Amino acid sequence: MPEESALGAALAGGPDHRGWTVQSYLLAQLINAVRVMDTNNVRVAGGKIPPPQPVEVPALRKKRPRLDLSNHPHAQQIERG
């Protein structure tokens, strides 16, 4: 299933992720890094410049915690043999 598909977007966190591939995320981070570097170079040279505006990327869905069924009334220990 392609990353930019509807299912891939839904698994990543919703429709905002549609069209965002791994390459898109990496390119956005690279652009952000270059903007910060350019801002720092101007400041080191004595110039005044406002902080750079980052490229906004959709936030990835946080992983859900593991389901712990050890306290379930019907849970049984698995015997390893």
The answer on pLDDT for 4 being more than 70 is no
Alpha-carbon gap, residue 74 to 81, rounded angstroms: 21
Residue of 10, 22, 7 whose CA lies nearest to 57: 22
pLDDT score recorded for residue 1: 63
Q: Is residue 1 part of a domain?
A: no
pLDDT score recorded for residue 31: 96
> Do residues 3 and 22 make contact, with C-beta atoms less than 8 angstroms apart?
yes
The per-residue DSSP string of the chain comes to --TTSHHHHHHHTSGGGTT--HHHHHHHHHHHHHHHHHHHHHHHTT---PPPPPPP-PPPPPPPPPP--TTSTT--PPPP-
Q: Is residue 38 part of a domain?
A: yes
Domain that holds residue 52: 20-60
Q: Is residue 79 part of a domain?
A: no
Number of domains in the chain: 1
Q: Is the model more confident about 23 or about 29?
A: 29
* pLDDT tens string 38-81: 999 999 999 999 999 999 887 766 676 777 878 888 887 778 76
The answer on pLDDT for 25 being more than 80 is yes
The answer on pLDDT for 5 being more than 80 is no
Q: Is residue 39 part of a domain?
A: yes
